[in-house]
Amino acid sequence: MRYLITGGAGFLGTALSNRLARQGHKVRVLDDCSAGDPARLQPEVEFIKGDINDKTLLWKLLQDVQCVFHLAARVSVPESILFPRDYNVVNVGGTVTLMEAMRDAKVRRVILVSSGSIYGIQENIPYKESFEVHPGSPYAVSKLAAEHYVRTIGAQSGIEAVCLRVFNAYGPGQRITMANPPIIPNFLKHALTNGSVVIHGDGKQTRDYVYVDDVVNAMVNASSVVGVDQEIINIGSGVETSVLELVRLVRQVTGQKPEEIFNPYKSGGSSRMCADITKAYEKLNYLPLIPLETGLRMTIERDPQFAR
**Local mean pLDDT, 10-residue blocks, the chain (308 residues):** 98 98 98 97 98 98 98 96 98 98 98 98 97 97 98 98 98 92 96 95 96 98 98 98 98 96 80 97 98 98 91
HEC profile of the chain:
CEEEEECCCCHHHHHHHHHHHHCCCEEEEEECCCCCCHHHCCCCCEEEECCCCCHHHHHHHCCCCCEEEECCCCCCHHHHHHCHHHHHHHHHHHHHHHHHHHHHHCCCEEEEEEEHHHHECCCCCCECCCCCCECCCHHHHHHHHHHHHHHHHHHHHCCEEEEEEECEEECCCCCCCCCCCCHHHHHHHHHHCCCEEEEECCCCCEECEEEHHHHHHHHHHHCCCCCCCCEEEEECCCCCEEHHHHHHHHHHHHCCCCEEEEECCCCCCCCCCCECCHHHHHHHCCCCCCCHHHHHHHHHHHCHHHCC
Comparing C-alpha atoms, which of 219, 217, 224 is closest to residue 289? 217
Strand 26-31 and strand 46-49: the pairing is parallel
pLDDT at res. 266: 65
pLDDT at res. 268: 66
Strand 160-166 and strand 168-170: the pairing is unpaired
Q: How many CB atoms lie within 10 A of CB 155?
A: 13
pLDDT at res. 137: 96
Residue type at 54? D
Length of the chain counted residue by residue: 308
Q: What is the pTM of this model?
A: 0.97
pLDDT at res. 264: 86
Catalytic one of 139, 170, 209, 211: 139
Rg (CA), the chain: 19
Give the separation between CA 266 and CA 200, rounded to whole angstroms: 5
Give the separation between CA 293 and CA 186, rounded to whole angstroms: 16
Annotation: CATH topology of 183-206+240-272+293-306: UDP-galactose 4-epimerase; domain 1 (3.90.25)
Give the separation between CA 281 and CA 291, rounded to whole angstroms: 17
Domain extents for the chain? 2-170+210-238+275-290, 183-206+240-272+293-306
Q: Computed from CA positions of residues 283, 285, 286, 287, in that sequence, does the dihedral angle turn out positive or negative?
A: positive
CATH number of 2-170+210-238+275-290: 3.40.50.720
Strand 241-242 and strand 231-235: the pairing is unpaired
Strand 26-31 and strand 109-115: the pairing is unpaired
Whether 139 sits among the annotated catalytic residues: the reply is yes
